[in-house]
């Protein structure tokens, strides 16, 4: 009977240790997932800002090209 009790206690301790290791691993995975989600959110916000800046620069370029064409026409007509 004592042997069964010792075997049970050893098995219980081993299972408890495995459970704690699994919990630790899952906590690390959750933390990493949260970090990656935060990083993804920040990168998406940064990308949105870059796209807006690009759009603004393209619009400014178009305006400058129109001015340039107008000045060339005025020069040629003068």
Model pTM score: 0.65
Give the pLDDT confidence of 6-61 residue by residue, as tens digits: 899 999 999 999 999 999 999 999 999 999 999 999 999 999 999 999 999 999 99
Of residues 35 and 74, which shows the higher confidence score? Answer: 35
Buried b (16+ CB within 10 A) or exposed e, 14-52: eeeeeeeeeeeeeeeeeeeeeeeeeeeeeeeeeeeeeee
In terms of DSSP H, where are the helices of the chain? 2-77
Residue 41 DSSP label: H
Alpha-carbon span 62 to 40, nearest angstrom: 33
Alpha-carbon span 67 to 46, nearest angstrom: 32
């Amino acid at each position: 009977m004592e042997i069964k009790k010792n075997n049970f206690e050893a098995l219980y301790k081993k299972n408890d240790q495995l459970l704690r290791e699994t919990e630790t691993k899952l906590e690390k995975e959750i933390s990493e997932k949260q970090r990656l989600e935060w990083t993804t959110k920040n990168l998406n916000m940064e990308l949105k800002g870059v796209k807006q800046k690009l759009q603004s620069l393209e619009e400014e370029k178009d305006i400058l090209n129109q001015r340039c064409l107008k000045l060339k026409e005025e020069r040629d007509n003068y």
